[in-house]
Structure 1
Amino acid sequence: MPKPTKDNTDPVAIETSESAISVPQGGQATFNVRLAARPSSTVAVNVIRAGGDTDITIVSGESLIFNKARFNQWKTVTLAAAQDADTVDGTATFRLYGEGLQSAEIVATEVDDDQAAPAYQIVTDRDALTVNEGATAVFNVKLSADPGQIVPVTVGHQSGDTDITVASGNTYYFDSSSWNVGQPVTLAAAEDDDTANGQAVFAVSAPAAETVYVTATEQDAGGGSTTNRVVIDPVSRIEGHLRVEVEVSGGTVSKAWSSATLFRGIEKILAGRDPRDAPLITQRLCGVCTYVHQLCSVRAIENAIGTLVPDNACLVRNLTLGAQFMHDHIVHFYHLHGLDWVDITSALSANAGATEALAHSVSPDADPIDFAAVKSRLQGMVDTGNLGPFANAYWGHSDYKLSPEENLLVTAHYLSALDLQIVAARMMAILGGKNPHPQSTIVGGVTCGGELSPDRLATFRTYLEQTRRFVDTVYMPDLKVVAARYPEWVDIGGFTNFLACGEFPQVPDGGLFMPAGVILNGDILNVQPLNEAAITEHVARSWYSGTSDLHPLNGETNPAFTGLDVNDRYSWFKAPRYDGAAMEVGPLARVLIGYGLGKPEFVTVVQNFLLDTGLSEADLISTLGRTAARALETVIVGNGMVSWLDQLENNLQSGDKAIYWDYAMISDSGRGFLEAPRGALGHWIDIDNSTTSRYQMVVPTTWNLGPRSVDSVDASKSIPGPMEQALVGVPVADPANPVEILRVIHSFDPCIACGVHVIDVDQDKTYDVKVI
């Protein structure tokens, strides 16, 4: 894998929402501007009239400032055409330029004021809204009539408080089939240190339509509304130790803090050891992420010493990791996250015959289940008081939406998945020697040559097809049932920045089955290339010495516990950032990046799901979308595994049996990137005289659940982590039983055991709730 690279110095293109604009005589018109890619530093886009009719002038937007974090947020330029005595429709060319930018031009045409009215207008459901500080608010946009063509509608920041931004929905394309369907535009108000209620104006623009303006007012967090705080401790159905504290105001979460409460110090343990110890030791970080640290550590060493591996070794590694993906995602949906959507006690009132009919309707090809026996088994658990994994949950909560029969259906599949996950684990054991902690991956290749016989690979294929059948006939249909019953969750728990480092190297052609990339501000179809040099770890709010943000290759792990204070330091997690921005990693990031880049393996699966559910691309940026992405990815990876297994068998049959190449240990630095089921994982190593002198890791849950960092643009502000931001705006019906908060937390699949603290300030009460 390549070493870190510097920022791309090619000129960044300036994008305009349209290439030509009509300005009514005596009136005004607007167009929107943004950058096509992230600039290396904050830049100004200047707008001047380059020539033409001097009656057409710039009213506002002559200089637009873009920084790294908000380069793809539309900003508005307003033009005016003065009244004149002639009857000629004058034109003027306006030039947009800036340092390090590729200039652009737009032609404005003055239109006489007796022109025919446009065929359509922009319609918004409100012209003003309030956005709570640290939260989001939504308005909807559509057209008044059929445009007869594809019309882009863009939402740009025209003026006012720059802390209020478009979080998602800054561009929609309407046509004859969608013109009258309202689409959501989400505005976000960043946390700040002042007590003023800021205000911003957003211009909603489209070609040949009058611009519509929406005014957003920030409700400052110190502005007088009371806040509630609730405490949940502990939360299970995750792995490790975590504390989450949230404030609830007006029935929704207004702020959140995520605290990892256990220091492991693996980086310290590795110092001075043989580098080849690292894969075995880091693998023991977790029994759930059972293979990923071993492979990532091996890749870091191979990167440092510059060695490659045979094609067969690459295929074996892909198959082993793919098996973990399938195992992990199935377990997550049914055994970790499913009970946030399913009310087990409701299943006791289900009609078994009706459940059987339901099962056949949602998945005719699924294996039959004796639902009466499942119901009897559940009743026995209730009667004896031995609920096992179903004990101490929020059964009967008002936000459980499935019918009794749907609850019984998914509960039966919960039990089936307990058996199926064993099948997926056996795939890993065939190629890895055992599970958990497969042990066949080593620097230079793999050691499982004896397991690559036709019989053993045939057994692997049987397990693979059995798992894929479960995904197709059980997992995906159950996901669609949940999606149909919880449509409001496409608007809850979303985050708009995504990062993936890529996974499953393809042989012999190269490239990655899962592409690397970055999505910022929810701009799904504008995937940016990943620049590893932009990754840093921040510790100003963590229990480590210092305040500097460092690249992991230069990182330090010097613990300095100071006590838990959410206004200062409050976590053993560091705060990874990409060019200063918080980034979500994991299945949703990978699916959106693969889809945004047009990878056929992703596009087909995603579009089929959207057609089946009636959801849109934008709906995926949510708690429900995060949950759905795991299932979609399980299908995608399963399809890939069939191809990799075919390749491996063909290679072996043709006489290519190489699984290991020798190497020489040298002194150098290297890194390994890997996509774990939970998200992007990175290991960085310094090797000196055949010993490890420095070792650093950035794990997926650190990306997703890390604490706040200092804003690189404005040091007086802090940037909450992805989950901290995703929790803001989550409705909480009952602070003593906050199942809604658990849905968001579990949707990230944290690899830590978790205590959640919710403080109810409205009632001046802290709730202590035990959750299983």
Structure 2
Amino acid sequence: MTSTIPTPSSTKEGADGLVEMAWDPITRIVGSLGIYTKIDFTQKVVAECKSTSSIFRGYSIFMKGKDPRDAHFITSRICGICGDNHATCSCYAQNMAYGVKPPHLGEWIVNLGEAAEYMFDHNIFQENLVGVDYCEKMVAETNPGVLELANDTEAPHADAHGYRTIGDIMRSLNPFTGEFYREALQVSRWTREMFCLMEGRHVHPSTLYPGGVGTVATVQLMTDYITRLMRYVEFMKKVVPMHDDLFDFFYQALPGYEEVGNRRILLACWGSFQDPEHCNFDYKDMTEWGRRMYVTPGVVVDGELVTTDLVEINLGIRILLGSSYYDDWEDQEVFVRNDPLGNPVDRRHPWNQHTNPKPQKRDLDDKYSWVMSPRWFDGQDYLALDTGGGPLARLWSTALAGLVDIGYVQSTGSSVRINLPKTALKGPVELEWKVPRWSNTIERNRARTYFQAYAAACALHFAEKALAEIRAGRTKTWEKFEVPQEGIGCGFTEAVRGVLSHHMVIRDGKIANYHPYPPTPWNANPRDSYGTPGPYEDAVQGQPIFEENDREHFKGIDIMRTVRSFDPCLPCGVHMYLGEGQKLELIHSPTQSVSG
């Protein structure tokens, strides 16, 4: 088997003795992400890190002038992985702008679709992409001493997952040959089928609309979903203890490993899974219905939950440019001066943002990325929040808020309890995710496993609610609406990788301004206008090196583990910008064949 990780794409020693190493592009993710580092091999530490993206995001430009009702179909194409998250968020923003409240059953179906997407995407990323970073082949290449110890270390939860030693777990993760690697691929099929049952097709839904869904809801539909869901629930009873054993082992085998990818606890969650019994999509009520979500919105600073108020969260968003390839919009039009509650809206808020691309040569000392720098202003500081890859922030915020209490999941104020019922081969299991000490690489990955179980448990609740509606004869899934001539809307949800917001301004019945902000811009941004590094940069910069290879054979495995722990998805669409007045023409010769 060939090397499971590439060597750095460039290496150079500086006059200060630091070795410049770049990984560009990062493998096993979508998008042109480059990580540029300076490494002190004497002290065994990453001295500096810069995160770059060579992909321009242009949706905010070509959304202008479009029919607002097309927004979710267009923005779904932002990403080929989490397109449904964008479609859902866009429908939320449209519901607000149009003043429409979907029927309960419509919202339960949306929740079931999104739960299936979390299960699908987290499973395939965790087991078939991140898992490779901890497999036998990888550890043999980078830390053979750790592998030797793993082969001699009994797995504490072997009775739950079936692997006797940590080394056995690592072997099961080997790409294409590992038993668990192959099993996870089969599981991803079930979850994708669950998604398609609710939203029509993956990954660009055909059944989502403002006002509800076009899905025909029947008992058979729910039965087909639940049958697959229960197989997944059984799978999670094995996966959670298996990953706990693996991740705990790295802490034990490599003292100090908690510092890999560790950064200040600055976590953002915009909430997920609406409760249709409380959510009316009215901005004036957003504080209340936001807190009724089954994943609680929140901002966690230094381990403390500073707000669960979606209105406060919304008003605190700022878009800084810093080291990105754009001109500022200080002298351009302000679209929204006050929100529907009368609160002032900042010029740097997404409602008022203008996108002015300025292509230029990459300069790591100045401008070096197409990613802008979203920040959350708490009244004093522009905080470089991250999503913890999505699950870490979601579980942390939900746990501390203590607002979720249904049969399958409860948030306790310091943990999240997940109750998985009896399945075909295993009895009921209670899992508990406890707020960790660190926001680091291992805990981001651990949270991804627990959140798969959380999403599955929530889906059981949503399916029961949907069946109750169907059996009561309340089968309406969509509500009529009219597009106003003037209006604004904002949608908040959690994409797989974390916070997702869509902000829309309507004038003369058309889109006048539209800005989607997925999780990766929050995580992958460069240094901002104040010199504050983005989360990737901050998490990698300063982390120790545990790899056993010497400088000449250095792979950068812990740097790769850290970046991938955030679950990067750089492009959210690949676009080309030609500037004003320029056209691109593709001319085929008479002998050329053209395929669609």
State TM-score, norm by structure 2. Answer: 0.75
Partner of 2:361: 563
CA contact (8 A) 2:64 2:512 kept: yes
* Match of residue 671, structure 1, among 470, 490, 495: 490
**Structure 2: distance between partners of 1:504 and 1:615:** 19
Q: CA deviation at 1:528?
A: 5.8
Aligned to 1:589: 393
Q: Aligned match of 2:172 in 394, 397, 409?
A: 409
The 3 A distance-change label for structure 1 pair 312 and 608 is: closer
Cα distance in 1, alignment partners of residues 140 and 194 from structure 2: 33
Query: Could you tell me which of 551, 556, 565 is aligned with 1:747?
Result: 565
Q: Deviations over 1:326-361 (max 9, x none)?
A: 111111211121111112377999xxxx99x978x7
Paired residue total: 482
SS at match of 1:512: coil
Q: Which of the residues 525, 528, 535 maps onto 1:706?
A: 525
1:287 alignment partner AA: G
Answer whether contact 2:79 2:571 (CA < 8 A) is retained.
Answer: no
Instruction: Please list the CA deviations of residues 149-208 of structure 1 after superposition, one character each: whole Å capped at 9, or x if unmatched.
Output: xxxxxxxxxxxxxxxxxxxxxxxxxxxxxxxxxxxxxxxxxxxxxxxxxxxxxxxxxxxx
Match of 1:458 in 2: 223
- Answering whether residue 299 of structure 2 is matched by residue 518 of structure 1, we say yes
Residue in 2 that maps onto 1:478: 242
Q: Is the contact between residue 271 and residue 295 of structure 2 (CA under 8 Å) also seen in structure 1?
A: yes
Q: 1:445 aligns with which of 212, 222, 225?
A: 212
- Counterpart CA distance in 2 for 1:297 and 1:461 is 27
1:363: Cα distance to partner?
Answer: 4.9
Q: What is residue 207 of structure 1 aligned with on the other side?
A: none
After TM superposition, the structure 1 = structure 2 runs for residues 751-762 of structure 1, keeping only pairs within 5 Å, are 751-752=569-570
1:279 match: 72
Cross-structure match for 1:507: 276
| Structure 1 residues 525 and 543: alpha-carbon distance in aligned structure 2, compared to 1, 3 A threshold | closer
CA distance in 1, matches of 2:322, 2:248: 43
Alignment CA distance shift 1:545-1:526 (3 Å):
closer
Q: Distance in 1 between matches of 2:480 and 2:434?
A: 50
- Percent identical pairs in the alignment equals 26
Residue 635 of structure 1: how far off its partner (Å): 1.5
CA distance in structure 1 between the aligned counterparts of 2:416 and 2:376, rounded to whole angstroms? 29
- Specify whether residues 646 and 252 from structure 1 end up closer, same or farther in structure 2 by C-alpha distance, changes over 3 A only: same
- 1:654 pairs with one of 472, 481, 499: 472
- Residue pair 1:242, 1:258 contacting (<8 A) in 2 also: yes
Which of 362, 367, 378 is residue 157 of structure 2 equivalent to?
362
Query: Do the aligned partners of 2:415 and 2:432 also contact (CA within 8 Å) in 1?
Result: no
TM alignment of 1:484-499, pairs within 5 A:
484-487=248-251, 488-495=256-263, 496-499=265-268
* Preserved contact between residue 346 and residue 404 of structure 1 (Cα < 8 Å): no
Instruction: Tell me the distance in 1 between the aligned counterparts of 2:370 and 2:99.
Output: 33
8 Å contact 1:307–1:663 — kept in the other structure? yes
Partner of 2:190: 423
Q: Does 1:727 align with 2:557?
A: no
Please list, as runs of the form range in 1=range in 2, the aligned pairs for 1:327-346 lying within 5 A after superposition: 327-344=120-137
Determine if contact 1:705/1:723 at 8 Å carries over to the other structure. yes
Instruction: Supply the distance in 2 between the matched residues of 1:652 and 1:280 (Cα, whole angstroms).
Output: 28
Give the deviation of 1:752 after TM superposition. Answer: 2.3
Alpha carbons 1:490, 1:619 under 8 Å: kept: no
1:457-482 CA distance string (max 9 Å, x none): 11100111111211121x21221122
Residue 29 of structure 2 corresponds to which residue in structure 1?
238
Task: Give 1:251's aligned residue.
Answer: 44
Question: Pick from 490, 500, 511: which aligns with 1:681?
Answer: 500
Q: Contact 1:524 / 1:593 at 8 angstroms: preserved in 2? A: no
Give 1 or 2 for the bigger CA radius of gyration. 1
Deviation digits for residues 406-450 of structure 1 (CA, Å, limit 9, x no counterpart): 32233321111011101000001111112221211101110011x
In structure 2, which of residues 84, 101, 108 is the aligned counterpart of residue 291 of structure 1?
A: 84
1:498-521 superposed Cα distances (whole Å, 9 cap, x missing partner): 11111111131441111111111x
Does the CA-based 8 Å contact 1:238-1:753 persist in structure 2? Answer: no
Q: Check whether the contact 1:260–1:572 (CA below 8 A) recurs between aligned residues.
A: yes
What is the aligned partner in structure 2 of residue 38 from structure 1?
none
> 2:317 aligned with 1:535, yes or no?
yes
Decide whether aligned partners of structure 1 residues 615 and 477 sit closer, same or farther in structure 2, where only a CA change above 3 A counts.
closer
Q: Which moved more, 1:697-706 or 1:633-642?
A: 633-642
Q: Which runs of 5+ in 1 are unaligned?
A: 1-223, 372-401, 712-717, 755-772
Distance 2:563 2:22 in 1: 14
Task: Please report how far the alpha carbon of residue 264 of structure 1 lies from its aligned counterpart in structure 2 after TM superposition.
Answer: 3.2
**How far off its partner does 1:613 sit?**
12
Separation (CA, whole Å) in 1 of partners of 2:119 and 2:438 = 21
1:243 deviates by: 1.2
Q: Distance in 1 between matches of 2:262 and 2:410?
A: 21
In structure 2, the partner of 1:184 is: none
Alignment correspondent of 1:692: 511
Q: Structure 2 regions of 5+ residues with no counterpart?
A: 1-14, 145-149, 280-291, 331-346, 419-429, 573-596
The aligned runs of 1:152-171 (5 Å cut-off) are: none
Task: Name the one with the larger helix percent.
Answer: 2
Alignment partner, residue 627 of structure 1: 445
Tell me the CA shift for residue 365 of structure 1.
5.4
Q: What is the CA–CA distance in structure 2 between the aligned matches of 1:345 and 1:226, rounded to whole Å?
A: 28
1:616/1:416 Cα in 2 relative to 1: closer, same or farther (>3 Å)?
A: closer
- Is 1:467 the counterpart of 2:232? The answer is yes
Distance 2:431 2:222 in 1: 37
Q: Is the Cα contact below 8 Å between 1:594 and 1:602 reproduced in 2?
A: no
TM-score scaled to structure 1, two decimals?
A: 0.59
8 Å contact kept, 1:497–1:584: yes
Contact 1:230 1:245 in 2 (8 A): yes
Q: Distance in 2 between matches of 1:433 and 1:508?
A: 25
Contact (CA 8 Å) 1:347, 1:407: kept in 2 or not? no
Aligned with residue 266 of structure 1, among 59, 81, 84? 59
Alignment partner of 2:492: what SS?
strand
| Contact kept? 2:219, 2:470, Cα under 8 Å | no
The secondary structure found in structure 2 opposite 1:498 is: strand
Alpha-carbon separation, structure 1, partners of 2:303 and 2:192? 37
- Match among 311, 328, 331 for residue 546 of structure 1: 328
Q: Does 1:641 align with 2:464?
A: no
How far residue 245 of structure 1 moved from its aligned partner, in angstroms, is 1.0
Q: 1:347 to 1:244 in 2, by over 3 A?
A: closer
Please show how residues 119-138 of structure 1 align to structure 2 within 5 Å: none
- 1:484 CA drift (Å): 2.2
TM-superposed deviation, 1:558: 1.1
SS at match of 2:453: helix
Rate the CA distance shift 1:637–1:242 in 2: closer, same or farther, 3 A.
same
Task: Write the distance in 1 (CA, Å) between the matches of 2:325 and 2:315.
Answer: 24
CA spacing shift, 1:613–1:619, aligned 2, 3 Å: farther
State the AA in 1 paired with 2:92. Answer: R
Distance (whole Å) between structure 1 residues aligned to residue 410 and residue 563 of structure 2: 25
Aligned equivalents of 1:633 and 1:677: distance in 2?
10
Tell me the amino acid that sits aligned with residue 514 of structure 1: V
Out of 523-532 and 258-267, give the one that drifted further. Answer: 523-532
Deviation at 1:225, TM superposition (A): 6.2
